[in-house]
Chain A
Amino acid sequence: MKILFTRESMLYGLQRVEKAVASKTTLPILTGICFETLNSTKLRLIATDLEIGIECIIPCVVENHGAVVLPASMFSEIIKKLPEEEITLEVGEKNKTVITCKNSLFNIAGSSVEDFPRLPDIKEEKIIKISQGLFYDMIRQTIFAVSTDETRQILIGELFEIRNERIKLVALDGYRIAVREGRGESSLNLERDVIIPGKTLNEFAKILSPNNDEYFTVSLTENQILFDMGDTRVVSRLLHGEFVNYNQVIPKQFNTVVEVNKSSMINSIERAYLVAREGRGNNLIKLKIDDEGITITSNSDIGEVREQVKARTSGDSLMIAFNSKYLLDALKATDSEEVKMEFINEVNPCIVKPLNLNNQLNLVLPVKIR
């Protein structure tokens, strides 16, 4: 195998696939990246940790076809440090690899590609097209609510609901729920619910360009999901099991409704958190809601704090306590300067959503004080 490529195109490919390189693994080959020529102008990079796999196709000049696995971190460090010149990569006997660039020459021990697991060839129909920017937002606005408790496997993933062209991401950890809706393009009348590992979505978001209208497509098999961005394909396993029936948890009727400026609410909670975090447990803050607006208080070993937030309130007065972090996460994820908060009483969920939009909803359960 002998190829020539530019530093820039190789760096682009490495950045994309690196996210799938295994860090801790019992299979040493997975700490490497697989390079294989496709035709005279294309090189494919593959990395996988068996949960998620990413491949990226970059332009190159192929003199001799072939394939090799090279240690990921070593190889990308070398490329990063080389000058902006044409780079040659040549693989000889026993996968001995020579990298040359201007005045540099590296001899690296590569591995055979035989043992490297290939990404499954997903030939299922592309079921839906989604804009990169939209899906980036959908992940950003839900991913924080994914559970970190690994004893509940299903909750370390997000529910991806497909109802024809309407799509939804839902994350929940038992204490809060984050829902974000969006729209894709599809000619199929398809309804599917799948559960995607949170880690996959996290890594995929890093590849997606925010504020970009370019599309990628989604394909599904029984066990896997494929995101195809043209030069880059991301394959991930799906989680199996029954997701929590979140709709059942979301209340429909409320006794107290608040309309408030998001930034002033966030700023006040963040200041109250300075005191709350010195407490020993839940970062506890208390909200008093009445005709005057919202009063946020907190106290801990170091002292106490009182914050007054202007708000339009209607319905019953209410005293309710929260983990300030959960409430902050929900507010920060809400993409609207004015937000609506809805309550039933001090032991029922609170809903946070944009004032004039219906594409997003956050639910937070309060802290019960005995």
Chain B
Amino acid sequence: MLSVIHVDMNAFYASCHQAVDPSLKGKPIMVAGDPKKRTGIVLTASYEARKFGVKTAMPNWQARELCPQGVFITPDYHLYVSFSGKILDILKDYTPVVEQYSIDEAWLDVSGCHRLFGSSLEIAQTIQERIARELDLPCSIGISCNKLLAKMASDMKKPRGITVLKPEDIPKKIWPMPVGKLIGVGLKLAKHLEEMNIKTIGDLARTSVEILESNFGVVGRHLHDLARGKDKSPVNPHSSDEAKSIGHSTTLPRDISSLEEAKQVLLGLAELVGRRARQGNYTGKRITITIRKNNFKTITRSATIPEPTNLTEKIYSTALKIFSKNWDGSFKIRLLGVSLSNLQKDVSQMSFLEENEKLKKINHIIDDIKNRFGENSIFRARLLGGNFGIENLKPRRDGSPIFKGKGPKG
């Protein structure tokens, strides 16, 4: 039974802007980091811009050369999060078994829903039509027997496609594709496989498990299964509940060489991490920082604190302690990251110290104000101004598996 549906939004960030501002419709638009920063790359280009050859992750200057009439738009994460929530609400009208994979992608398992809503194809058509009508957003949908194939299917017709992929179609439709197109095969792995003369997914499927295992260990067997379209992982509506870590990192607008600058960045990151932990009702006792040197060498160092926390102050002071131990000023820093792990959900050790309770309250009040009036409506004074102030950084989420390497691709 083909009951797994994968919904993938088309050019999600760009489409969101076009949905709220009709004047942008039909125009080539590029959602991009601040053009003045070196992190200024295209996050998402609308389909109109893609016709000019503009691609995701392309530096702004190059996009401008290819498409001089294109409109650059700075990202508005609130807009995307709010649309993402609305999409999820629509999906949940058809089954409670919805697993959000990233801000613009989700799986549904509609087994058992067919008498209510019709065949998987009919459900997919309804969903696509509702998302277009109610939210004015385009999406592509894949239907198959498992998450892997459903996701491969949604990628086949873009934009606005619906593709049904039957397992018996694998040799014809999947195997001729380059091996890098297989979900779970990243750039590095693809390169490695190509060096072994495994160029297509079919090549991979025909390679013996033994050879793959001797080269890649357990991953080898997994790869072999994937290439044959085998994926037993269930659509897990609680996958986002099982976050293993919550992290944020940021490439700096210019290399850092002073402790004061580092403090500002670490506090900004700690606030993001703490805020996300508090929202999910997580606390963690392991704090890890990532330091990337300007020669691209990266170190990560951790510390464990006695009591799990989600307070910005505690995360910051621990991160700063680790940082001071590992940075003597002898090299410049290109990227900093902070993450919280060893997470537990919905439990908290009570304390009778007034200041602990006070900090908890302050953190929650700050969160509350941000929720109501926006991220920049209130922030810690240290984050104000300077080259590394809050308005100059666009940190990204790391860590949690559902967000791993996931931005919208189109």
Interface assignment of A113: CB less than 8 Å from any CB of chain B: no
Cα–Cα distance between A347 and B306 once the two chains are bound (Å): 21
Instruction: Encode contact with B along A319-338: 1 for CB under 8 Å, 0 otherwise.
Output: 00101000000000000000
Q: Which residue of A lies closest to B349 (CB)?
A: A367
Q: Which of B307, B342, B347, B355 contacts A368 (CB 8 A)?
A: B347
In B323-378, the 8 Å CB interface with A consists of: 342-344, 346-353, 355-356
Contact A281 B285 (CB under 8 A): yes
Cα–Cα distance between A284 and B344 once the two chains are bound (Å): 10
- List A contacts of B346 (CB < 8 A): 369-370
Instruction: Encode contact with B along A4-39: 1 for CB under 8 Å, 0 otherwise.
Output: 000000000000000000000000000000000000
Interface assignment of A244: CB less than 8 Å from any CB of chain B: yes
Contacts A151-B317, A370-B281 given; does A323 touch B349 at CB 8 Å: yes
Contact A368 B306 (CB under 8 A): no
Interface majority SS (helix, strand, loop, mixed), chain B: strand
Contact B350 A367 (CB under 8 A): yes
Interface assignment of B283: CB less than 8 Å from any CB of chain A: yes
Contacts A279-B344, A281-B347, A367-B348 given; does A174 touch B306 at CB 8 Å: no
Interface assignment of B308: CB less than 8 Å from any CB of chain A: yes
Contact A321 B342 (CB under 8 A): no
Q: Which residue of A lies closest to B285 (CB)?
A: A281
Contact B352 A347 (CB under 8 A): no
- List A contacts of B343 (CB < 8 A): 280-281
Contact A368 B350 (CB under 8 A): yes
Report A4 CB to chain B, min CB distance, Å: 47
Q: Which of A151, A244, A249, A282 contacts B347 (CB 8 A)?
A: A282
Interface assignment of A149: CB less than 8 Å from any CB of chain B: yes
Contact B344 A365 (CB under 8 A): no
- List A contacts of B353 (CB < 8 A): 152, 174, 244
Q: Which residue of B lies closest to A323 (CB)?
A: B349
**Max chain B CB contacts within 10 Å: which of A244, A280, A369?**
A280
Contact B306 A149 (CB under 8 A): yes
Interface assignment of A148: CB less than 8 Å from any CB of chain B: yes
Report A197 CB to chain B, min CB distance, Å: 18
In A329-363, the 8 Å CB interface with B consists of: 347, 349
Interface assignment of A175: CB less than 8 Å from any CB of chain B: yes
Contact A174 B342 (CB under 8 A): no
In A78-100, the 8 Å CB interface with B consists of: none
Cα–Cα distance between A113 and B137 once the two chains are bound (Å): 82
The interface size of chain B toward A, counting residues with CB under 8 Å, comes to 21
Q: Which residue of A lies closest to B308 (CB)?
A: A281
- List B contacts of A281 (CB < 8 A): 283-285, 308, 342-344, 347
Instruction: Encode contact with B along A247-284: 1 for CB under 8 Å, 0 otherwise.
Output: 00100000000000000000000000000000111101
**Max chain A CB contacts within 10 Å: which of B284, B347, B355, B356?**
B347
Contacts A149-B306, A280-B344 given; does A365 touch B349 at CB 8 Å: yes
Cα–Cα distance between A281 and B281 once the two chains are bound (Å): 13
Contact B349 A280 (CB under 8 A): no
Cα–Cα distance between A270 and B307 once the two chains are bound (Å): 20
Cα–Cα distance between A199 and B283 once the two chains are bound (Å): 29
Cα–Cα distance between A296 and B91 once the two chains are bound (Å): 41
Report A17 CB to chain B, min CB distance, Å: 31
Interface majority SS (helix, strand, loop, mixed), chain A: loop
The range of chain A's interface size is 20 to 34
Report A350 CB to chain B, min CB distance, Å: 11
Contact A175 B347 (CB under 8 A): no
- List A contacts of B344 (CB < 8 A): 279-282, 284
**Max chain A CB contacts within 10 Å: which of B284, B344, B352?**
B352
Contact B347 A369 (CB under 8 A): yes
Report B21 CB to chain A, min CB distance, Å: 40
Cα–Cα distance between A149 and B355 once the two chains are bound (Å): 13
Interface assignment of A157: CB less than 8 Å from any CB of chain B: no
Cα–Cα distance between A349 and B284 once the two chains are bound (Å): 23
Contact A368 B317 (CB under 8 A): no
Report A276 CB to chain B, min CB distance, Å: 11
Q: Which of B281, B284, B317, B350 contacts A175 (CB 8 A)?
A: B350
Contact A365 B350 (CB under 8 A): yes
Cα–Cα distance between A175 and B160 once the two chains are bound (Å): 56
Cα–Cα distance between A284 and B307 once the two chains are bound (Å): 12
Cα–Cα distance between A244 and B354 once the two chains are bound (Å): 9
Cα–Cα distance between A349 and B342 once the two chains are bound (Å): 26
Contact A175 B348 (CB under 8 A): no
- List B contacts of A365 (CB < 8 A): 349-352
Interface assignment of A53: CB less than 8 Å from any CB of chain B: no
Contact A175 B349 (CB under 8 A): yes
Contact B351 A284 (CB under 8 A): no
Contacts A280-B343, A282-B308 given; does A174 touch B352 at CB 8 Å: yes
Cα–Cα distance between A369 and B347 once the two chains are bound (Å): 4
- List A contacts of B352 (CB < 8 A): 174-175, 244, 249, 349, 365
Contact A148 B347 (CB under 8 A): no
Q: Which residue of A lies closest to B244 (CB)?
A: A280
Q: Which residue of A lies closest to B357 (CB)?
A: A174
Cα–Cα distance between A280 and B349 once the two chains are bound (Å): 13
Contacts A281-B283, A321-B347, A347-B350 given; does A175 touch B307 at CB 8 Å: yes
Instruction: Encode contact with A along B82-111: 1 for CB under 8 Å, 0 otherwise.
Output: 000000000000000000000000000000
Interface assignment of A293: CB less than 8 Å from any CB of chain B: no
Cα–Cα distance between A280 and B283 once the two chains are bound (Å): 10
Cα–Cα distance between A370 and B310 once the two chains are bound (Å): 15
Contacts A151-B317, A282-B308 given; does A370 touch B356 at CB 8 Å: no
In A163-202, the 8 Å CB interface with B consists of: 174-175
Contact A370 B307 (CB under 8 A): no
Cα–Cα distance between A368 and B307 once the two chains are bound (Å): 14
- List A contacts of B347 (CB < 8 A): 281-282, 284, 321, 367-370
Q: Which residue of A lies closest to B318 (CB)?
A: A151
In A118-164, the 8 Å CB interface with B consists of: 148-149, 151-152
Q: Which residue of A lies closest to B307 (CB)?
A: A175
- List A contacts of B281 (CB < 8 A): 370
Interface assignment of A366: CB less than 8 Å from any CB of chain B: yes
- List B contacts of A249 (CB < 8 A): 352
- List B contacts of A347 (CB < 8 A): 350
Cα–Cα distance between A237 and B344 once the two chains are bound (Å): 39
Contacts A367-B347, A367-B349 given; does A280 touch B306 at CB 8 Å: no
Contacts A148-B306, A281-B342, A281-B343 given; does A366 touch B350 at CB 8 Å: yes
30 A-B pairs whose Cβ atoms sit less than 8 Å apart in the complex: A151-B317, A152-B353, A174-B351, A175-B307, A175-B349, A175-B350, A175-B351, A175-B352, A244-B353, A249-B352, A280-B344, A281-B285, A281-B342, A281-B347, A282-B344, A282-B349, A284-B344, A284-B347, A347-B350, A349-B352, A365-B349, A365-B350, A365-B351, A367-B347, A367-B349, A368-B347, A368-B348, A369-B346, A370-B346, A370-B347
Instruction: List 5 other contacts, CB 8 Å, given A152-B353, A281-B283, A281-B285.
Output: A148-B306, A174-B356, A281-B342, A281-B343, A367-B347
Name the 7 nearest CB pairs between A and B, nearest first: A281-B344, A174-B353, A370-B346, A365-B350, A174-B351, A249-B352, A281-B308
